Amino acid sequence: MIRKSDITKLTALTLLLSATGFAQEEAATTEQLQNNINIVWTLVAATLVMFMQPGFAMLEAGLVQAKNSVNILMKNLMDFCIGSVMFFIIGFGLMFGSSTSTGGWLGTDYFMLHGITGGADWTYTFWMFQVVFAATAATIVSGAVAGRIKFHSYLIYCVAICAFIYPIFGKWAWGSLLNDNGAGWLEGKGFIDFAGSTVVHSIGGWLALAGAIVAGVRIGKYDKNGKPKAILGHSIPMAALGVFILWFGWFGFNAGSTTTGDGEIGRVAVTTNLAAVAGAIGAMITSWILFKKPEATMTLNGVIAGLVSITAGCYTVTPIGSLAIGLIGGVLVVFSVLFIERVLKIDDPVGAISAHGVCGAWGTLACGVFGAEAVLGIGDANTGFLYGGGFSQFGVQFLGVIAAFIWAFGTGMALFTAIKYTVGIRVSPEVEREGLDTHEHGIPAYTHDMGEEAPMVPVID
Amino acid sequence: MIRKSDITKLTALTLLLSATGFAQEEAATTEQLQNNINIVWTLVAATLVMFMQPGFAMLEAGLVQAKNSVNILMKNLMDFCIGSVMFFIIGFGLMFGSSTSTGGWLGTDYFMLHGITGGADWTYTFWMFQVVFAATAATIVSGAVAGRIKFHSYLIYCVAICAFIYPIFGKWAWGSLLNDNGAGWLEGKGFIDFAGSTVVHSIGGWLALAGAIVAGVRIGKYDKNGKPKAILGHSIPMAALGVFILWFGWFGFNAGSTTTGDGEIGRVAVTTNLAAVAGAIGAMITSWILFKKPEATMTLNGVIAGLVSITAGCYTVTPIGSLAIGLIGGVLVVFSVLFIERVLKIDDPVGAISAHGVCGAWGTLACGVFGAEAVLGIGDANTGFLYGGGFSQFGVQFLGVIAAFIWAFGTGMALFTAIKYTVGIRVSPEVEREGLDTHEHGIPAYTHDMGEEAPMVPVID
Amino acid sequence: MIRKSDITKLTALTLLLSATGFAQEEAATTEQLQNNINIVWTLVAATLVMFMQPGFAMLEAGLVQAKNSVNILMKNLMDFCIGSVMFFIIGFGLMFGSSTSTGGWLGTDYFMLHGITGGADWTYTFWMFQVVFAATAATIVSGAVAGRIKFHSYLIYCVAICAFIYPIFGKWAWGSLLNDNGAGWLEGKGFIDFAGSTVVHSIGGWLALAGAIVAGVRIGKYDKNGKPKAILGHSIPMAALGVFILWFGWFGFNAGSTTTGDGEIGRVAVTTNLAAVAGAIGAMITSWILFKKPEATMTLNGVIAGLVSITAGCYTVTPIGSLAIGLIGGVLVVFSVLFIERVLKIDDPVGAISAHGVCGAWGTLACGVFGAEAVLGIGDANTGFLYGGGFSQFGVQFLGVIAAFIWAFGTGMALFTAIKYTVGIRVSPEVEREGLDTHEHGIPAYTHDMGEEAPMVPVID
């Protein structure tokens, strides 16, 4: 990035060479080159984040029953489709438009990308990066309500979250990212959520919590004594593929959130990766202790837990800090899944509430614990209490976590309840037992025509 | 990009500083930096487009029967392999070589990348970007002829399309992309096909039409009264993964077609994404109305339809224009699939003719309707009739669409008919019934050894 | 890249303009821009290489039985997790730390990224690129020992390879990549292995050989007369997806190994792609001749063989040279698989020893045959004997190949034998027969709940 001191010197050169008419152009060119580097990096990152959609789709489809897998895929597909349109029309403007007149609570322009001038305007790239974040928030919910809610009710939910619920909270925390007139009230207090542990993941997670509560538990999930029964996912390889894709995309999610192509992106990628691996290790060990086996779905959720946990602090913590944050996230997700299933008796088929809601909150708070700008040589603010920064940053983080819970869980309960008592939220017991795929979409996920007398034995000698 | 006016000023500086011997080097460096940004962006985009190969492979394999899925994967793999070699030896030269002597109908150099000097020559990166386009055109056909044609006949087809059919049309529309001496006759008329709705997708789609006609329908596709029967795809999750991968790769396909790393790529990504989501929505609503259900495979094809439709105009239409283009594409693909299956009675197992051929034509024409360079601030040519540009651009687009149909369908019919009456095109009915996988490749797609007494019940308490 | 001659001229300009205080800053900025381009490119490449993990996971899971597929996925996941942590703590320092004091045999600093100053230090990006290479070396082994070794024994192995075995050989061949004080003894002799045919793939392949020998053959692999029986992979589409993902990631692996964003990356991508397609063609034709059918898994392995073979020479051979190298690699892998299975009677379920060990050695030697720097206009060293360079380069390559075999196979035998006689390496026959998934991880890969009376017939009229 061009520092201000450079610009002063640039001006000196401009004066010296102004007779040639060249200097000003040259200065612009240097800045333009860095802008172009930023644009290439940010668009590549946006593309990676977009690819998280099939990551979620494969993870969730793998963890539900075969009879409901087309339905969950359609939900993952359509939330991105509906979400993109709504974010284009309304959401982006609410989130990044000027908000001085609303005290940092709501944006008031940029609707339908109105007012952009010039085909190469940065706003296009920025919009592309942001729309995939909005879709991520939306898609988190689909897993938690899998196997039981109506397709058209889900579409209504998508309209609400991508047009209003997500972008309004986003304004509070990230409103100034596009222009200085857009600052939100929460970022004004120094709230840190670099890539969205709270803004994207907790918001999605608490909406998922509301959805799972209102939708109720799947038939057969609990026996008459309230004891939970495992309803196994139909394809663990599919779920594993989904997790790997999400991990891949997360490099765009976190390192892309710099929206600047310089050396900082390498560091963010390092913390992101270390937290992911620590999350997997943490969850694997925890499941090994609890169940006597390194359980696969818990370990996979551990990767997600690590990634969600580091998302807020990926820019401001050290590599060692990221290992600690991810490890704790990995342990946390196992206990949270068990607590939600066995104590709260809420049915979350893929563990989305734990991985995104709970770990998102943890990761946001962790910025107040492990923040280490001075150690990293990147500044002197945002110091966590482990690095001598006291508890003020932790307090701000706590405020943001609470605000996110109140906003997302509150609006989520209102929204799902409204849907429940209008168009209805739950499919009939018959449809649920026979599977949503054929009833809602007219097609089964799988057919098995392997040919007449398909050889199941070696055919090459 | 360095504008010509900059270069004039650059020359002034060169004169001023020439005593130091530095200025010329410095100017080169600034230009070189942008070149390097362009190279990085274009190569990343090429890599994304290459990844569309497994996108097509998964989509097509998911939509055919399990007994033919290895065969379709092998075809998708080998068309890229054969295609890369043929495009290296012949195709690239025909498409991008100098063509002044042939009136813009055929290129005459660059065969086997001959004549490239210097290890960092742009031509390498450009070749990589173009070879994956050629492979895309080839692979479109595989789905339309799935489940019934011989493997070695398919390989012959791949040689012809990547060496001759695709690159010759490519020359006409895109010949000048590498050097000014390569301009094709169609681009000389002002034909717009920014990333290949016609050059890649319609060419592939019309070849697919020829192939499906010559190959004939699969056994059991139509009953005695000519009524079509659905032959369900064996894995909708696999098909859905394929569509998501294609969508991901399409950001490289469209935004990469600028081959320049600047702000325009963000805008192209926005129009690409909006058309994709609108295509899905259009197809979903149409299927919902027609079948009373939001049908999954039609919705998936809607994504492809939206993407193919915006490929020609992604650079010259507004975001709102792209929504309209994609939406219409999504509606169109459903009716086209039904028309081809029920009226024309041509058996296209994956809907390739509709998604690529028909929507490619629509997208190309749409440039003459929605073109809006002046509105976007990127120029003043190519104005569609909705923006006051009259029908001249539409006329040129129509010419290109017709030329593509005549060329691809014509050569395709000749090619597949020649194959049919020489080496043969169709497998025996016995092979077709038992599946191409074991007969043609010696291996079934799936075996199901889940272990002795594999527990289908929860195993963790 | 800034050449030295440029720097001299830069100094002249610095003197001329030093009065303004600007020149030095401007020079830094120009260099910084190229650095930023390099960082963006290298990090994107690292992300692509990271994505090779699911490539290996899908390939290996597809090629093993369904009952062992969760286990192989967990191994692929956890080797990256354990490997990242060990490489962070120890491996990276051994590989890239200063090694003047150890004569180029061991690095002595950079442990836990200690000593990095500044949040934008190149070392972060470089670490991210290198850690995914280390994980690749580790994960190669998992396929060769699939279906029979204990999970916790595998984890111990991962610690050893990523902390010590891989990085120590890496130091010898690549030690100077981060700093001049880190040069290894083998690179001092002029050994060429641009992206790791030997450093990554052969090392992984020879470790796999040791593992497969110590682990022994799977139950039922050979009959009483020692005749091998094919144990078919459970999902060829999954394996094919894995191969395509690996191919995609390999553009990062090879072209990213320049760690510089300039035109050379395009050329490296071209040679990489041509070798991959030639490998597939070579393996397909070979299998067609031997088995009378174009066999699918051999063809898929041919892609990997071509890619591994070109990895050493991707920067220094011509496109035509890369076709030859890949084609030979594709032929070689088929014969090697048959030789290892039928003559050596070593059980390698996925062909990892052949694809990575044998083809890695071939590719490394091929640099001494096809090296063509002068022809490419990139230098005058490293000329292979086909281009008049005599046999000196071939001799150095041969030395490196032998050193890699002795080191990796030697330490591998010691390691796996030590594991065997301490914690044990092999699961019980009962577990092997029933599958590792339920016994080791408490979960089957698949359940098949398609709903009550799931329709296997068309459901849309």
Give the max Cα distance, chain C: 88
Query: Residue C34's pLDDT is what?
Result: 95
Residue of B nearest to A80 (CA): B277
How much is the average pLDDT of B92-119?
94
Pull the structure tokens for residue A391.
């508890």
What pTM was computed for the model?
0.94
Q: Which of A74, A293, A450 sits opposite B444 (nearest CB)?
A: A450
CA distance A269 to C121: 13
With beta carbons under 8 A apart, name residues in chain C contacting A70: none
Interface membership of A458 toward C (CB under 8 Å): yes
Domain boundary assignment for chain B: 37-445
CA distances, B83 to each of A50, A453, B160, C320 (Å): 29, 35, 9, 15
Residues A278-308: tens digit of each pLDDT: 999 999 999 999 999 999 999 999 999 999 9
Interface membership of B131 toward C (CB under 8 Å): yes
How much is the average pLDDT of A213-241?
95
Interface membership of A402 toward B (CB under 8 Å): no
CA atoms within 13 A on the CB side of A392: 7
Indicate whether A13 pLDDT > 90. no
Indicate whether C166 pLDDT > 90. yes
CA distance A133 to B241: 20
Interface membership of B259 toward C (CB under 8 Å): no
Pull the structure tokens for residue B356.
């690529």
How much is the average pLDDT of C444-448?
88
Q: Read off the DSSP letter of residue A84.
A: H
CA distance C236 to C350: 12
CA distance B58 to B76: 9
Query: Residue A23's pLDDT is what?
Result: 41
User: Torsion angle of alpha carbons C20, C26, C28, C29, nearest 10°?
Assistant: 150
Give the max Cα distance, chain B: 88
Burial class (CB in 10 A: 0-12, 13-18, 19+), A399: middle
Residue of A nearest to C233 (CA): A458
Interface membership of A52 toward B (CB under 8 Å): no
Pull the structure tokens for residue A333.
């997700």
Residue environment code for B349-361, b if the CB has 16+ CB neighbours within 10 A, otherwise e: bbbbbbbbbbbbb
CA distance A164 to A158: 10
Indicate whether B329 pLDDT > 70. yes
CB C308 within 8 A of CB C356: yes
CB C81 within 8 A of CB A280: yes
CA distance C167 to C155: 17
CA distance A232 to C264: 49
Question: If we measure between CA atoms, which residue out of B194, B376, B30 comes closest to residue A121?
Answer: B376
SS3 of C351, please? coil
CB C346 within 8 A of CB C297: no
> How many residues would you count in chain B?
461
Beta bridge partners of A228: A222
C47 and A437 in contact by Cβ < 8 A? no
DSSP string, A95-149: HHS--GGGTTS---S-GGGTT--STT-HHHHHHHHHHHHHHHHHHHHHHHTTTTB
B85 and C274 in contact by Cβ < 8 A? yes
SS3 of A452, please? coil
Q: Read off the DSSP letter of residue C147.
A: T
C interface test, pick of B13, B41, B43 with most C CB neighbours within 10 Å: B43
Query: Residue A451's pLDDT is what?
Result: 64
How high does pLDDT run on average in chain B? 91
Interface membership of C378 toward B (CB under 8 Å): yes
Pull the structure tokens for residue C155.
């984890």
User: Torsion angle of alpha carbons C149, C152, C157, C163, nearest 10°?
Assistant: 160
Is A37-445 a CATH 1.10.3430.10 domain?
yes
CB C134 within 8 A of CB C162: yes
Residue environment code for A43-70, b if the CB has 16+ CB neighbours within 10 A, otherwise e: bbbbbbbbbbbbbbbbbbbbbbbbbbbb
Q: pLDDT class for C380, splitting at 50, 70, 90?
A: confident
CB B29 within 8 A of CB A30: no
Query: Residue B451's pLDDT is what?
Result: 63
Residue environment code for C179-216, b if the CB has 16+ CB neighbours within 10 A, otherwise e: bebbbbbbbeeebbbbbbbbbbbbbbbbbbbbbbbbbb
With beta carbons under 8 A apart, name residues in chain A contacting B326: none
Q: Which of A73, A88, A124 sits opposite B237 (nearest CB)?
A: A73
CA C201 to chain centre: 4
CA distance B185 to C83: 57
Interface membership of A366 toward C (CB under 8 Å): no
How much is the average pLDDT of C36-46?
98
CB C360 within 8 A of CB C197: yes
Phi and psi angles of residue A235, each rounded to the nearest 5 degrees, phi first: -155, 100
Query: Residue C131's pLDDT is what?
Result: 97
CA atoms within 13 A on the CB side of B132: 34
Query: Residue C390's pLDDT is what?
Result: 87
Q: Read off the DSSP letter of residue C222.
A: B
H or E stretch covering C303: helix C296-311
Q: pLDDT class for A207, splitting at 50, 70, 90?
A: very high
Please indicate whether residue A453 or residue C324 has the higher confidence score (pLDDT).
C324
C266 and B113 in contact by Cβ < 8 A? no
Count CB atoms within 10 A of the CB of residue C285. 17
Q: Return residues 61-90 of C near B (CB < 8 Å).
A: 65-67
Lowest-confidence pick of A254-263, B287-296, C112-121, C203-212? C112-121
Q: B27 to chain A, minimum CA–CA distance in Å?
A: 9
Q: Which of B281, B296, B438 sits opposite A443 (nearest CB)?
A: B296
B interface test, pick of C11, C246, C248 with most B CB neighbours within 10 Å: C248
Question: If we measure between CA atoms, which residue out of A351, A371, A366, A361 comes closest to residue A404?
Answer: A361
Residues B59-104: tens digit of each pLDDT: 999 999 999 999 999 999 999 999 999 999 999 999 999 999 999 9
Lowest-confidence pick of A204-213, C5-14, C238-247? C5-14
B30 and A30 in contact by Cβ < 8 A? yes
Where in A303-454 does DSSP place strands (E)?
Answer: none
Torsion sign over Cα A35, A36, A39, A40: negative
> ∠ CA(A33), CA(A36), CA(A41), 5° rounding?
130
Query: Residue A297's pLDDT is what?
Result: 96
> ∠ CA(A360), CA(A240), CA(C359), 5° rounding?
125
Residues B238-291: tens digit of each pLDDT: 999 999 999 999 999 999 999 999 999 999 999 999 999 999 999 999 999 999
Q: A361 to chain C, minimum CA–CA distance in Å?
A: 24
> How many residues would you count in chain C?
461
Q: pLDDT class for B380, splitting at 50, 70, 90?
A: confident
Query: Residue C451's pLDDT is what?
Result: 63
Burial class (CB in 10 A: 0-12, 13-18, 19+), A145: buried
Residues A361-395: tens digit of each pLDDT: 999 999 999 999 999 999 888 789 999 888 999 99
How much is the average pLDDT of C233-257?
97
Indicate whether B168 pLDDT > 90. yes
How much is the average pLDDT of A253-272?
97
How much is the average pLDDT of B443-447?
91
> How many residues would you count in chain A?
461
A interface test, pick of C16, C18, C47 with most A CB neighbours within 10 Å: C47
Indicate whether C19 pLDDT > 60. no
CA distance C392 to B172: 49
Q: Which amino acid is at C208?
A: A
A interface test, pick of B125, B267, B320 with most A CB neighbours within 10 Å: B267
Q: pLDDT class for C35, splitting at 50, 70, 90?
A: very high
Interface membership of A43 toward B (CB under 8 Å): yes
CA distance B116 to B105: 23
How high does pLDDT run on average in chain C? 91
Residue with tokens 């939220």: A425
Q: Read off the DSSP letter of residue C317.
A: S
Q: What is the CA radius of gyration of chain A?
A: 23
Pull the structure tokens for residue B185.
């006759």
Indicate whether A19 pLDDT > 60. no
Query: Residue B28's pLDDT is what?
Result: 52
Residue of C nearest to B54 (CA): C244
Secondary structure of C154-179 as H, E, C letters:
HHHHHHHHHHHHHHHHHHHHHHHHCC
Residue with tokens 């207090």: A189
CA distances, A360 to each of A132, A137, A326, A370, B434 (Å): 18, 12, 11, 15, 52
Count CB atoms within 10 A of the CB of residue A227. 10
Beta bridge partners of B222: B228
SS3 of C265, please? helix
Residues A106-160: tens digit of each pLDDT: 999 999 999 888 899 999 999 999 999 999 999 999 999 999 999 999 999 999 9
Indicate whether C16 pLDDT > 90. no
Query: Residue B33's pLDDT is what?
Result: 95
